[in-house]
Structure 1
Amino acid sequence: MLDTVIRHANAMPAPTWHRLGMNHADIAVKAPAASVRAATVDATGFMDSPAPDAFDAALRTLPCAAAPAEGAADDAAGLDACALSRYQSDLANRERIGDAAGAFKTGAGRDAAAFVESIAPERVVLQTVRGAADARAVVYLEAGEGGACANALDIVLAEDSAAEVAVVFDATRAADAFLGSVLRIFCGARSKLALTALQAGGARTTVLDDAGCVLADEASVDVRHFALSTGASSTGFACDLRGAGSRARADVRYLGREQAETDFNYIFEHRGAASTSDLQADGVLADESVKTLKATIDFIRGCKGASGHEQESALIVGEHAHNRSCPVILCGEDDVAGDHGASIGHIDADRMFYLASRGLSPDAAEALFSRSVLESALAACPDDRCREAVRRIADGALETKEDEAPCIVCP
């Protein structure tokens, strides 16, 4: 039986929100399963026999970071040490070493990644050859009643290659289940990765979606996360924008219902000059759901010309729903640009009046926004199997009412 609590997961790099208790999360894993099922991987366009250590070998190909400016390397041990926070001291030590392997992290943290890796039946490696343009993969995690499924996956893109990978968490027909995935991603110079993760879990399921990414020169990663579970779900994504001109973009959609507890943690570490990051999060919170979004943009010494953007829009349609947003910008370099913003609240009176003039009741208007999240998830599904999971979520989320328009995602 899996019965443990992963402490200090989805932790922010620089703890800030002490009083509100949002710096990290504890993930309770309870599943009666005696054995853990491996995720199924359907892949085309990748190497037939990738090296088991392809990810670690790829990290070693990256040059060490440039030495810090004069005096900066001694901050952690010199006279200024008392003025540094623990995060600043740890960062100074890591940057002094300068290697990508030492700085690598996943969004959910070391303990969470180690737990999933320890129970995953095997580690799968997806590796492209240089110039490959048609690599695609669908990773499917599914658990039945009281079951568990774990995935440990390395994605290694060679220079000038491109790939699309989808990870689907399906526990829509299960209770007391656990689904856990940890991805280690390396994108070589000028490579492009499109990553989609879709979570669909029931009320008594736990989903852990963890990933860490390293980008070389002019590499890019586009991430789409859909959190539709009614149970507990944790999403962590950390990106090391190490290469000059590297780019990371994350588009997050969530639908909180019943007593769902959804926790996001995004970390963008800018090390490469002129690197860019962009996070857009939109969602709906209903019933007694709780959502926490932690987003950190970190401009590390040496990333001149870098820019980071974070924007969130949270619509609260339940009287007891609760939203928590924790945006942070850390800056150790000049000549950078970073901004964040949030729009949180109920449907405003003008918009509600407009919808009412079109014949929609307040309940139907709120359902309209929930439907838009589900439609976006449906459009992102890689196959019919995934679409069926989204439709099962839609069945519970959108109960047809006489004054509502038909739900196009319902069968």
Structure 2
Amino acid sequence: MEQLKIKHASAMPAPTWSWLRMNDTEISLPAALARGGDIEIEAPDTLLDTASTFEGALAELQEHLDAKRTNATDDRACVRAAQMDQEGTGGRETSDGSLGDLDTPALSRYQKRATLEEVAGDVTRAFETGIGMDARSYLNFAAGETVTIATEAGSTGEATIRVTGDAGTTVAASIDAVAAPDSSLSLTIALDAAPGSSDDASSNQGPAGVIGSELRVFAGAHSHVDVTVYVTADAGFVAVDDSGYVLDEGARVQVRHIVLGGGVTATGMAADLRSDTARIDIDTRYLASGSERRDFNYVVRHRGKRTISNIIANGVLAGSSKKCLRGTIDLVHGCKGSEGTERETVLIADEGVENKTVPTILCDEDDVAGNHGATIGHVRPEQLFYLESRGVSSEDAEALFIRAKLEDAALSAPDERIRAAILRLGNRLIDGFAEELEGDAA
């Protein structure tokens, strides 16, 4: 089957050694898919009937930031070098053969781009999503239109977006969410495959279909935004979840990614903590079994003072599954008093899995804190021996870890439709999963 390839997707802002093959990923999508599937948006009219736009919110923030900027010249060496390179005068050797200005450093492409972006202070041009422009274009095309969900100042709103795929089709939702100052907005996005459409999952014809979501979020001053994304697609589907966030002063954002299904999933998120005291907390939980692939890319830019970010991931890998998680916390010049933390815990339930974890801290400021770490471990042989001595086979032991992840998601599901999707997925992985869980609950 002819494939459409999105190359260099979910790229790390500052690449590491290329031989590690972790700097980015390639997403292969069937080229012959028709638009189909189903999109449902459950939201009150007060959230949908709005004149607010994502672009308008960024423009208002830009005016506020420009009013606070001073005209003082930034004489740092990195700024001088970036501007010289931009003007085409970046050579260190002068016409008379001398070495010239040795105090002006040579910059990498990343350093040059980051420095010019910082000096410009342009919120719109700096906006990014976790997977990147090509994926954003594909998802917006598949969606056909972008729906804006917006709150009024001081109000509270809640919405659910359901994207359901069918075999042989591509379907995606494109959502702009704008939380006005001092308001609260809660979004739930469910990416699922239609029951029965996964019959193609075991075929050799490639992915049965594509489902996805493109989300842009603006969190106004002192607003609270809560976003939860569930991925429960069957094994024959590619699921692409791309998002970008901009936070104004004092905004609080909570993001949860619960990725349980899908043959190939790509989850990307970028956040711009543009104003002082903004905070974002990211909680990712994932499961991969069989030959499934999971790819995550998180980029958090601390630009405001005393901003806080937390990237916490917890997952189980079984079978011959593969997973890569890139987490980048960028402490940009000027973000004094900020703190970023990223931490991942991975349980490897089978020797055939492949796990890659790339925690990264970028820093161009003092008086900041960046923390990162990962805990990755197999089930110890003595633990397996103990279970086997009690009549639990290695396959059943693996199922215990998968069951725990699915049970946690099912018990915390926000509504019955999402819960039913998790139970359906559980039944595909573990015989009688739904019946046992319902029996335990009773």
TM-score (norm 2): 0.85
Among candidates 264, 274, 289, match of residue 296 of structure 2: 264
Q: Match for residue 166 of structure 2?
A: 144
Shift of 1:283: 0.7
Shift of 1:360: 5.3
Among candidates 221, 236, 240, match of residue 272 of structure 2: 240
Among candidates 355, 358, 369, match of residue 337 of structure 1: 369
Among candidates 141, 151, 162, match of residue 118 of structure 1: 141
Give the match's secondary structure for 2:54: helix
Among candidates 186, 189, 194, match of residue 164 of structure 1: 186
Q: Match for residue 88 of structure 2?
A: none
Distance 2:357 2:395 in 1: 26
What per-residue deviation string (whole Å, max 9, x for no partner) do you get for residues 264-293 of structure 1?
A: 000010001110100111111111100000
Distance 2:36 2:337 in 1: 46
What per-residue deviation string (whole Å, max 9, x for no partner) do you get for residues 194-245 of structure 1?
A: 1000111222211100000000011011111011124011000000011111
Distance 1:276 1:100 in 2: 19
The one-letter code sitting in structure 1 at the alignment partner of 2:162 is Y
- 1:391 and 1:409 in contact (8 A); partners too: no
Q: Match for residue 273 of structure 1?
A: 305
- Which 10-residue stretch deviates more, 386-395 or 260-269? 386-395
Give the match's secondary structure for 1:320: coil
- Which 10-residue stretch deviates more, 341-350 or 253-262? 341-350
- 1:172 and 1:393 in contact (8 A); partners too: no
Judging changes above 3 Å, is the alpha-carbon distance between structure 1 residues 150 and 90 closer, same or farther for their aligned structure 2 residues? same
Q: Match for residue 86 of structure 1?
A: 109
Q: Match for residue 55 of structure 2?
A: 56
TM-score (norm 1): 0.92
- 2:142 and 2:170 in contact (8 A); partners too: no
Give the match's secondary structure for 1:223: strand
- Of Structure 1 and Structure 2, which has the larger fraction of its residues in helix? 2
Shift of 1:366: 3.3
Q: Match for residue 352 of structure 2?
A: 320
Aligned residues with identical type, % of pairs: 39
Judging changes above 3 Å, is the alpha-carbon distance between structure 1 residues 112 and 2 closer, same or farther for their aligned structure 2 residues? farther
Give the match's secondary structure for 1:277: strand
Give the aligned CA root-mean-square deviation in angstroms: 2.6
Shift of 1:85: 1.4
The one-letter code sitting in structure 1 at the alignment partner of 2:55 is D
Kindly report which structure 2 residues correspond to 1:373-388, keeping only aligned pairs within 5 A, or say none.
373-388=405-420
Shift of 1:388: 1.3
Give the match's secondary structure for 1:113: helix
Distance 1:201 1:328 in 2: 30
- 1:230 and 1:259 in contact (8 A); partners too: no
- Which 10-residue stretch deviates more, 15-24 or 284-293? 15-24
Q: Match for residue 128 of structure 1?
A: 151
Distance 1:121 1:37 in 2: 13
The one-letter code sitting in structure 1 at the alignment partner of 2:244 is G
Is 1:186 the counterpart of 2:218? The answer is yes
- 1:38 and 1:122 in contact (8 A); partners too: no
Judging changes above 3 Å, is the alpha-carbon distance between structure 1 residues 409 and 12 closer, same or farther for their aligned structure 2 residues? farther
The one-letter code sitting in structure 2 at the alignment partner of 1:100 is V
Is 1:153 the counterpart of 2:185? The answer is no
Distance 2:391 2:338 in 1: 47
- 1:31 and 1:147 in contact (8 A); partners too: no
- Which 10-residue stretch deviates more, 108-117 or 343-352? 343-352
Give the match's secondary structure for 2:420: helix
Distance 1:310 1:29 in 2: 30
Shift of 1:100: 1.1
- 1:216 and 1:243 in contact (8 A); partners too: yes
The one-letter code sitting in structure 2 at the alignment partner of 1:34 is A
Give the match's secondary structure for 1:83: coil
Among candidates 70, 80, 83, match of residue 77 of structure 1: 83
Kindly report which structure 2 residues correspond to 1:27-42, keeping only aligned pairs within 5 A, or say none.
27-30=27-30, 32-37=32-37, 39-42=39-42
Distance 1:358 1:407 in 2: 22
- Which 10-residue stretch deviates more, 336-345 or 377-386? 377-386
Give the match's secondary structure for 2:212: strand
Shift of 1:350: 6.7
Shift of 1:408: 5.2
Shift of 1:5: 1.0
Distance 1:409 1:161 in 2: 40
Q: Match for residue 14 of structure 1?
A: 14
The one-letter code sitting in structure 2 at the alignment partner of 1:61 is E
Q: Match for residue 109 of structure 1?
A: 132
What per-residue deviation string (whole Å, max 9, x for no partner) do you get for residues 243-269 of structure 1?
A: 111111111111111111110000010
Distance 1:166 1:244 in 2: 27
Distance 1:255 1:199 in 2: 10
Distance 1:387 1:31 in 2: 32
Distance 1:355 1:194 in 2: 40
Q: Match for residue 304 of structure 1?
A: 336
Unmatched tracts of structure 1, length 5 or more: none
The one-letter code sitting in structure 1 at the alignment partner of 2:181 is E
Is 1:249 the counterpart of 2:281? The answer is yes
Q: Match for residue 211 of structure 1?
A: 243
Distance 1:339 1:240 in 2: 18
Judging changes above 3 Å, is the alpha-carbon distance between structure 1 residues 46 and 323 closer, same or farther for their aligned structure 2 residues? farther
